[in-house]
Amino acid sequence: MKQWLSVVALESLFMHICHQSLLQKRRCVFNVTNSNNSGYYSAGNVSGSVQLCENTDCCLAIYKIKNGTQQVDTLACDRVIMSCPEATCKPQPRIKNSFIICTCGTDLCNINDSWSPEQPAETHFYTAVEITKTVLVLVVLVVILFSTVFIVIASKWRRLCKKKTKMDIQVAEEHLLSSCQDYKAQQLCSCQRKASENQITDIELQGVLGQGQFATVYQGKHRRSMVAVKVYPAKWKHQFIKEKEVYELPLMKHEGTAQFLGTGRKPDNGSLLIVLQYAEYGSLHCFLCKHTSSWMLSMKLCQSLSEGLSYLHSDLHGNDMHKPPVAHRDLSSSNVLVRADGTCVLCDFGSSTILRSCLGHRFWQDHSTNMEYCTLNYMSPEILEGCVNLSSSSFLLQGDIYALGLILWEIWMRCSDLFPGAAVPQHFLPYQLELEANVTMERLILYVSEMDRRPSIPENWDMLPQGLVLKELLIGCWDRDTDARLTAPCVGILRTKMAKPGFGCFPELPNGKASRNSPD
């Protein structure tokens, strides 16, 4: 009993110390000169040149290096990092030698810009007074002891809560599945799975078309027709089943998704096969590497892509069948195919999540962020920050919209009509140019989340009649705020309006010839 009372007393003392430390909110110097960083206004109340931080103990300073001198880009409360060990701003690794970033954890510390762009961090020599003060740090060891006791108690409590939440989810899913079985037996509920069909045996595998994380894609022949065959090794059976479930959903057939022909198994090694209609141009990434496109062809690629994603996200009922929404969760230009007619189709659903529903409730079995399976360049800010609300299906769908905006940017950056009289840039993946092809998780978090930057939009687009609309559409897709992003149907509607005759017409080129508008 005495031991228990001692633990409670230590915990109370620790909580009191924490409470006192949290009463005073961090104050940071505020100066945002970059219009792209307006989101920092929401990090805390601003009064003059001082910001009172709401959710962080860190101040942020971003300096832009121009002509060898540093210029203030952003001074504000940090929106990503919550705790900082440094008392003063110290230079951090730069992005393309154009920016210097630092964070610190004392009031108004982000105004300290005494260091120069080329100056290394100073070596600090402690005075006798400072050495004496360090003795006081020993007192902190007592607090650490208190915190250790508190963390042990909190850890045990968290494990109990996590176990209870997991059990609640399992019970809820079992309840919904049970309800589905009793709910109008003559109707097909999206909780139920369609029976497996179209087992294909007579497949002739030919050359390799591509290699993914889980499977290899071959060109094949089936009944004298060219097909694409995705071969999963037996150890990746889980991804095979997930992709197969998406293709076999009721009402899943659509012009914007790869046509599913069936499944099979290799008798020699047990590999699992998914057979799809052959796409002549291969992946959109390969297509853009090899080809530029006219305005009309670019519009065709974008329109079919957005329509396919809109259908994938749609919740459809018809003929006593139900297709629930599906979040792709690994959308990239490598997971989009281009057919001979210049239209795009979605494929590679091994990381996708089916948002099943019954009796007005929506649920799904995969509650992981799937970060290890996503393509790094296309991860949305909320995925990079680990702030995905897995209890909300809209978060999963809006992650696809962010990736869609990046793919639209890739397509338009290869459109010759958007660069009149100039060479069309070579194809780059998103952020490959800005981060000098060294795209890592850490650099993306800094560039996309911390600095709130996006792929560069050419300045000359502002001078073209359709350029401002393209820019607005891209910003609407990759907005930091998931609630502010467009939905897939809205993107499709905008693309339809832009494709109408008379919209975005190009002036004559300097040689007097009209701009190319043929998809050939």
Q: Please report, in range form, the residues annotated as the binding site for ATP.
A: 235
Query: DSSP E strands: which ranges in 340-479?
Result: 344-346, 353-354, 356-358, 361-363
Return the half-sphere exposure (C-beta side, CA atoms, 13 A cut-off) of residue 468.
4
Of 241, 319, 251, the residue nearest 273 (C-alpha):
241
The whole-angstrom separation of Cα 481 and Cα 385 is: 13
CA distance 381 to 393: 17
Name residue 305's amino acid.
L
Burial 42-72 (b: 16+ CB within 10 A, else e): ebbebeeeebbbeebbbbbbbbebeeeebeb
Distance separating alpha carbons of residues 406 and 404, to the nearest angstrom: 5
d(CA 74, CA 68): 18
Give the number of residues written for the chain: 520
What tokens does 370 get?
């799937």
In 3D space, the residue among 58, 27, 52 whose CA is nearest the CA of residue 450 turns out to be: 58
Angstrom distance (rounded) from CA 145 to CA 99: 41
Cα–Cα distance measured from residue 98 to residue 95, given in angstroms and rounded to the nearest whole number: 6
Q: How is residue 64 annotated by DSSP?
A: E
Binding residues are: 235
- Give how far Cα 39 sits from Cα of 95, 141, 410, 498, Å: 20, 39, 25, 29
d(C-alpha 11, C-alpha 149), whole Å? 7
The CA distances from residue 375 to 64, 68, 220, 439, 457, in Å, are 29, 36, 27, 11, 22
Bridge-partner residues for 64, per DSSP? 71, 99
Q: Burial level of 110, CB count in 10 A (0-12/13-18/19+)?
A: buried
CA dihedral 183, 184, 190, 194 (to 10 degrees): 120
How far apart, in whole angstroms, are the C-alpha atoms of residue 413 and residue 417? 10
Q: Give the end-to-end CA distance of the chain in Å, rounded to a whole number.
A: 84
| Radius of gyration of the chain measured on its C-alpha atoms | 28
Angstrom distances, CA of residue 153 to CA of 158, 161, 271: 9, 12, 48
Reading the block at residue 236, the tokens are: 């990746």
